[in-house]
Amino acid sequence: MKRAITLLCLGCVVCLAALTVRKAPADAIADRAHKLHFSSIVLDTHDDTTQRFFSKSFDLGKRNPDGHIDIPRMREGGMNAIFFSIWIDGRIMGPPAVQKALDQIDAVHENVIKYSNDLVFCRTAEEVRRAHSQGKIAALMGVEGGHMIGNDIRVLRMFGDLGVRYMTLSHFYNDEWADSSTDKPAHNGLTDFGKQIVTEMNRQGIMVDISHVSDKTFYDALETSKAPLIASHSSCRALCNHVRDMSDDMIKALAAKGGVIQINYEKSFIDQAYKDASDKLSGGVVAQFDQFKKECGDDDECFAKKVADEGKRATAEGKLPHVSWERIIDHIDHAVKLVGADHVGLGSDFDGASMPDGMEDCTHLPQITEALMRKGYSDDDIRKILGGNLLRVMEQNERVSREMQTAPASAAR
Ligand SMILES: [Zn+2]
């Protein structure tokens, strides 16, 4: 009996030793990934949290029970640079669009002041790096849709002065001068005025964002822009055939001019089965947003809640398939294999999209670093993907802006 117990114990030790041997490398990677993640600039180029600033139940400084972003959860997920998106419905045009955009720009600035212990407003890549070295979260702004300039180039300049650092040329609908990927072509890409806007964005140091635009608008912008472009929140069409995503040819052309694709986590942009089922169920993302708009009217809080909850509900009811957060890694990896690690980054669409299982909010971001490390990505490449690439593109845009502002002959004013 004693011998049996001894053998059993010996067996336990052998078992434990085997487990320890198997587990050791995994823990070592997890530990190394954790250190890398929490020492890096983790920058997200697209978060719709701004619209939540107008809700009485939301507080950026507290841990909220819903949504994807707030300061405590950003701290927990190691997210230390964020582009707050300025967004209004693409069918609002002219002066009301400008006014609503200004409301949101003002709300971003007011929240940064309110939470200045944690947040610092940044206009340059250098300021983002300084914020990081001081342990602060860098707050930046992007305008999601050219309709918000009210067809007036002076408003674009004003947005630049207020700290806007990128503008998406269109949203779901065509604006006055750019075709959207989810609308019927009206301008054959960019109009002449649209090209003038792109040049003025270069001059102001406002990055040209080609997420949402039609393929023709993308190629027109690429040809016109003197600085590298960004796709602030787009994924890969080769893995999920959605017009909102970029084809391999587009990603290659973007990268060839130094640009960066920031991968979007929205389920219908990253998973073909989900996209197909969603198209069948609700007619796709644009039709679904239209339906939400009808149901909610001007109640932005109701709209945001529907965007966040409807996908979850349909999945829980078995009407839509589950999507794993690992699809995000597949999209990053596809783009990296296509154009290299210098041209890929993160543009979650948190608070504006339906998140895959396992990426319920920004506290899950360290998983991305760990997954890339397990795939064999170097620390340098991971740092670039987490934020370094976007900062490089931002610096290139700043350089082009300085050159254009000191060369009177090329001035667009
Ligand atoms: Zn968007």
Beta carbons within 8 Å of 163's beta carbon, 6+ residues apart: 105, 109, 121, 123, 140, 141
Structural contact between residues 221 and 191, judged by C-beta atoms closer than 8 angstroms? no
Distance CA 403, CA 293 (A): 43
Question: Ligand 1 centre from 144 Cα, in Å?
Answer: 7
The band of 408, judged by pLDDT with boundaries at 50, 70 and 90, is low
Structural contact between residues 249 and 220, judged by C-beta atoms closer than 8 angstroms? no
For the whole model, what pTM was predicted? Answer: 0.91
Q: Taking Cα atoms as reference points, which of 162, 46, 156, 188 lies closest to residue 109? A: 162
Distance CA 166, CA 180 (A): 17
Question: Ligand 1 centre from 320 Cα, in Å?
Answer: 21
Question: Ligand 1 centre from 334 Cα, in Å?
Answer: 21
Question: Ligand 1 centre from 365 Cα, in Å?
Answer: 20
Question: Ligand 1 centre from 179 Cα, in Å?
Answer: 15
Q: Which of 199-213, 272-286, 290-304 has the lowest mean pLDDT?
A: 290-304
Look at residue 349 in the predicted model and tell me its pLDDT.
97
Look at residue 40 in the predicted model and tell me its pLDDT.
98
Question: Ligand 1 centre from 348 Cα, in Å?
Answer: 10
The β-bridge relationship of strands 137-144 and 164-168 is parallel
Look at residue 25 in the predicted model and tell me its pLDDT.
52
Look at residue 307 in the predicted model and tell me its pLDDT.
77
pLDDT above 90: residue 363: yes
In whole angstroms, what separates CA 292 from the centre of its chain? 22
Residue-wise burial string across 63-89, b where 16 or more C-beta atoms lie within 10 A, e elsewhere: ebeebbbbbebbbbbbbbbbbbbbbbb
Instruction: Give the mean pLDDT of the chain.
Output: 92
pLDDT above 80: residue 13: no
Look at residue 304 in the predicted model and tell me its pLDDT.
75
Average pLDDT over residues 290-307: 81
Rounded percentage of the chain residues whose pLDDT exceeds 90: 82
Question: Ligand 1 centre from 341 Cα, in Å?
Answer: 23
Residue 310's CB is within 10 A of a number of other CB atoms, namely 18
pLDDT tens, position by position, 222-243: 999 999 999 999 999 999 999 9
Beta-bridge partners for 231 = 261
Distance CA 89, CA 304 (A): 12
In whole angstroms, what separates CA 358 from the centre of its chain? 17
The band of 296, judged by pLDDT with boundaries at 50, 70 and 90, is confident
Question: Ligand 1 centre from 175 Cα, in Å?
Answer: 14
pLDDT tens, position by position, 32-45: 999 999 999 999 99
Question: Which tops the pLDDT comparison, 270 or 317?
Answer: 270
Q: Which residue has the tokens 């890398």?
A: 36
pLDDT above 90: residue 147: yes
pLDDT tens, position by position, 63-112: 999 999 999 999 999 999 999 999 999 999 999 999 999 999 999 999 99
Average pLDDT over residues 324-329: 98
Structural contact between residues 247 and 346, judged by C-beta atoms closer than 8 angstroms? no
pLDDT tens, position by position, 250-292: 999 999 999 999 999 999 999 999 999 999 988 877 888 888 8
